[in-house]
């Protein structure tokens, strides 16, 4: 059984205020007498469901094309966190109980918050984000990938991105804008495959769980 965690890309999907929205422009149309249908797409690499590359927050960081597949594919755990504001170590301890064991079995963690309930078009700046200490704590315990249904692991107004940087220090790859609506908590196989764009700071991704 599969769960598709991917937000569908369309011109009205919410993006960070000021970021490039999605446009989908027909360039050839059979109805207009062309031999086939062809479309040109423009968008921020961070629109919709996507994987952040280390390049997003470090000029020396790896591009999205260099993020290893063995991080992007493998056992993952979904946990629901009824958190408003910052996700703390205490929140994670309550949800995961034995962190050593939880991350040994599944070193990828997807957090399900109220953001999954929002429509694709809705921009809600009050999304749950990670306390930098919580990000450090997860990284120190061997986390390899963090997924969130929020648009960022840091608050919408953050300029210094402390949680992004904490995850980066531990080599944890970040997946954002998931939709976990209707996905039960538990352990799955994750497949998060970003487009392979040379040296890029992110890649739009199809993200799927298999039970
Ligand atoms: Zn991003």
Whether 141 sits among the annotated catalytic residues: the reply is no
27-63 residue pLDDT tens = 999 999 999 999 999 999 999 999 999 999 999 999 9
Cβ atoms of 137 and 89 within 8 Å: the answer is yes
User: In whole angstroms, what is the distance from residue 180 CA to residue 155 CA?
Assistant: 20
CB proximity list for 128: less than 8 A, separation 6 or greater: 81, 83, 84, 85, 86, 87, 111, 113, 114, 115, 148, 150
Q: What is the mean pLDDT of residues 86-109?
A: 95
Mean pLDDT estimate for the chain:
97
List 46, 50, 56, 112, catalytic entry: 56
Question: In the chain, what are the domains?
Answer: 2-6+45-210 (3.50.30.50)
Tokens of 16: 């960070």
**Helix%, strand%, coil% for the chain, nearest 5:** 25, 30, 50
Distance 164 CA to ligand 1 centre (A): 10
| Torsion sign over Cα 110, 50, 196, 140 | negative
What predicted TM-score, i.e. pTM, was given to this entire model?
A: 0.97
Tokens of 54: 């280390």
Per-residue pLDDT, 16:
95
Distance 36 CA to ligand 1 centre (A): 33
CB proximity list for 210: less than 8 A, separation 6 or greater: 1, 2, 188, 189, 191
């Amino acid at each position: 059984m599969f769960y598709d965690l991917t937000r569908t890309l369309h011109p009205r999907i919410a993006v960070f205020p000021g970021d490039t929205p999605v446009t989908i422009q027909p360039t050839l149309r059979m109805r207009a007498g062309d031999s086939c249908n062809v479309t040109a797409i423009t968008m921020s690499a961070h629109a919709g469901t996507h994987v952040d590359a280390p390049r997003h927050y470090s000029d020396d960081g790896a591009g999205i094309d260099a993020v290893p597949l063995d991080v992007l594919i493998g056992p993952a755990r979904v946990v629901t966190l009824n958190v408003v504001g910052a996700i703390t170590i205490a929140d994670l301890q309550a949800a995961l109980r034995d962190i050593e064991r939880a991350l040994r079995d599944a070193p990828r963690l997807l957090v399900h918050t109220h953001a999954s309930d929002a429509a694709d078009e809705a921009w809600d700046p009050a999304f749950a984000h990670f306390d930098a200490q919580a990000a450090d704590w997860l990284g120190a315990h061997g986390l390899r990938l963090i997924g969130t249904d929020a648009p960022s692991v840091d608050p919408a107004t953050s300029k210094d991105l402390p949680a992004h940087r904490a995850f980066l220090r531990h080599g944890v790859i970040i997946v954002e804008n998931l939709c976990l609506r209707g996905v039960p908590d538990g352990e799955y196989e994750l497949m998060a495959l970003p487009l392979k764009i040379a040296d890029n700071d992110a890649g739009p991704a199809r993200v799927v769980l298999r039970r």
